[in-house]
Copies of this chain bind each other. A is one copy, B any other.
Amino acid sequence: MEFPNADGSKNGPLTIECTENGDIDYDLLSPKDRPKPSMPWFGLDIGGTLTKLIYFEPKDFTELEEEQEKETAKTIRKYLVGNTAYGTSGIRDVHLEMKDQLIGGRRGSLHFIRFPTSNMEGFIEMCKAKHFNSLVTEICATGGGAYKFEEDFFTKVSLHLHKFDELECLLKGIHYIDRHNEKECYYWKNSHDPDQCEKVPFDFKDPYPYMVVNIGSGVSILTVHGPNNYQRVSGTSLGGGTFLGLCCLLTGCQTFEEAIELASQGDNKKVDKLVRDIYGGDYDKFKLSGETVASSFGHMNQADKRENASKEDLARATLTTLTNNIGSIARMCAQTQGLERVVFVGNFLRVNTISMKLLANAMDYWSNGALKALFLEHEGYFGAMGCLMEYVGSGGSLNFEAPQLADH
């Protein structure tokens, strides 16, 4: 295992070793004789909009261990596991809980928690109030916020954030969870037909090569050719944050869930200009169906059409416009890179089957069936998962530098 050099480089190399065939070496995580970092065990991914936190709840306490468990750790454990909502905005996604996991030699459950990054101050306050740093002095974190809030964590809660790159963590997390949840990976069958469209498990055991499209606040597109062989090939700033921001402006909604609910009731054809609105039918020469959107929001320069478009219609148009744009860019990348499987992850897809089906259909339709869109149940949590694995595998001997006071 290697740890960050003293040369001031901010990125720690991700150090989970792999066996020869690329599988993660669980013996590094499991052996009882290796030192373990202090409990509690967390993985933290501080994204542009949401912070994702994974907590490992040990369930294999012997009676003695339970007595010996530090009071603070017990308090934290009971707080996290005894609730599904925290403060004003923290949520535990109970349906995503993974039971009976063997991590670092311990058996227990993985819990998946999220809260808006804009409430980071409140989270730090809570860590302070619960005396978190009496238990641990370091925590593995990824995402942009691991850099942005590094100083705050140190000065306010005496916590060292050990930073890892978000895309490396993403991939490690995908591999772990996919290996430990049979129904993790799925696709949408018959995506062109809303009545017949169904979710079907997909065996992703032999994944390479594939493309990942991570749709968070923004979008990153990666090609993955092996366990440690990946590249960020593209991205776009028109992501989940754009959908939410535009919906808030256009409809007055406040949350992602509201925006999705509005969109589910809307009709984008009231807002978007279709090929048939311009041609009176199909654009035969280039095989563009009359139902294809020619100009997103193209009707909205006309006052009468603005009046006829409801909030629901606007939300739906925003959703389809952004989703189709991402799908289009993803498809171009996949075709350029010669890849057939495209995995879409990220919290834009949370409770958002409309987008998933649109993406599935777009990949299939525009590539004449050559490309397959895949999805994963744990959507936006993979970065935090990769982080947790790194923390547990570090054996409790992470060497941290004091964070440099950055010039902001």
Residues of A near any B CB (own CB < 8 A): 10-11, 47-49, 118, 143-145, 147-150, 165, 167, 216-218, 232, 234, 236-242, 244-246, 248-250, 254, 256, 271-273, 275, 277-281, 283-286, 292-303, 306, 314, 321, 324-325, 328-329, 332-333, 335-336, 406, 408
Contact = CB atoms under 8 A, between A and B. Distances in A.
A280 B151 CA distance: 11
Contact of A248 (B10, B11, B301): B301
B10 A234 contact: no
Contacts of A150: 280
B250 A250 contact: yes
Contacts of A408: 280-281
B217 A49 contact: no
Given A147-B280, A236-B325, A242-B296, 16 more contacts: A144-B275, A145-B279, A147-B279, A149-B280, A165-B285, A216-B295, A217-B294, A237-B298, A241-B301, A242-B297, A245-B296, A254-B301, A281-B408, A325-B325, A332-B336, A335-B336
A234 B296 contact: no
Contacts of A314: 249
Given A217-B273, A332-B234, A336-B336, A245 B301 contact: yes
Contacts of A280: 144, 147-150, 406, 408
A344 to B, nearest CB: 17
Contacts of A167: 285-286
Nearest to A239: B295
Given A11-B284, A285-B165, A248 B306 contact: yes
A245 B300 contact: yes
A285 B11 contact: yes
Given A237-B294, A244-B301, A249-B306, A48 B333 contact: no
B10 A48 contact: no
A240 B301 CA distance: 11
B336 A273 contact: no
A232 B286 contact: yes
Nearest to A294: B218
A232 to B, nearest CB: 5
Contacts of A10: 284
Contacts of A246: 246, 297, 300
A334 to B, nearest CB: 12
Contacts of A248: 300-301, 306
Given A300-B245, A301-B248, A238 B325 contact: yes
A202 B10 CA distance: 45
A408 B279 CA distance: 10
6 contacts: A150-B280, A237-B324, A244-B300, A245-B300, A281-B408, A332-B333
B272 A237 contact: yes
Top-8 shortest CB links A-B? A245-B300, A245-B297, A241-B295, A144-B278, A148-B280, A241-B298, A217-B295, A144-B279
